[in-house]
Amino acid sequence: MTGFVSFVSSGPGDPELLTLKAVARLQAADVVLFDDLSSGPILGHARKGADLVGVGKRAGKPSAKQDHVNRLLVDYASAGVRVVRLKSGDSGLFGRLEEELTALRSAGIPYEIIPGVPSAMAAAAAAGIPLTRRLTARRVQFVTGHDVTGALPEDLNLAALADPGATTVIFMGKRTFAELARRLTGAGMPAGTPAILAESVSTPDQKILRGTLASMAALIAEEAGDGPALILLGPLAESG
């Protein structure tokens, strides 16, 4: 008998931001494979007696290898149980979802994807701003701040990122922001472009830092903690 895998997006961390469907799947699961950022009070919704297996990845810390996570998904589902793969934010954004889907498809295991509150939207809400504005911020772009080695990606479209009419959200960019700011300045983005760092959004450790493209790297070095963070750049970051 083949089991079933539900990819459940847990949102940014506040359990009250879980969807009703996410809670229902957690309450029905036999096994929950969870990321570090999806642990804590969110796991309080898991069924009593369910196996809770941590498979999180954190930069600079010991992490589960992706091949191992894929194998666990296939092995548990092949045993005929209901599996929840719990991912932070929305599982389709920088969450390596596709690699896990490919493993399940190859093994003939059925699955579903349950969307959640993306951390970018939660960060904007925490900062008291929208991500778009009629006429002056018509486009939103999401980009990762590091590649598989932890360095700033070399193939970033700097012209697009420097667009003054866009809101740019940088995921996992604290360690590389100083270099990114240097490149964006060289691509024509004004040094005074408003910037926000949103750290540990929607949790008791939430921190919002406001600055500019030129000042944000120093703010990160001086005031940021070690929690997960996003950096928002663009005209809307000056409000709120």
Give me the catalytic one of 21, 30, 57, 207.
57
| 57 a catalytic residue | yes
**Contact at 8 Å (CB) between 141 and 167?**
yes
Give me the catalytic one of 35, 87, 163, 174.
35
What is the DSSP annotation of 159-208?
HHHT-TTEEEEEES-TTTHHHHHHHHHHTT--TT-EEEEEESTTSTT-EE
| 207 a catalytic residue | no
**Contact at 8 Å (CB) between 137 and 105?**
no
Detail the DSSP E strand segments found in 49-171: 51-54, 82-87, 111-114, 139-144, 166-171
**Contact at 8 Å (CB) between 118 and 90?**
yes
Q: Output the six-digit token pair for 23.
A: 């809670």
For tokens 């950022």, the residue is 37
Which 8-state DSSP code applies to residue 12? T
Question: What's the distance, CA 236 to chain centroid?
Answer: 21
Residues acting as catalytic residues: 35, 57
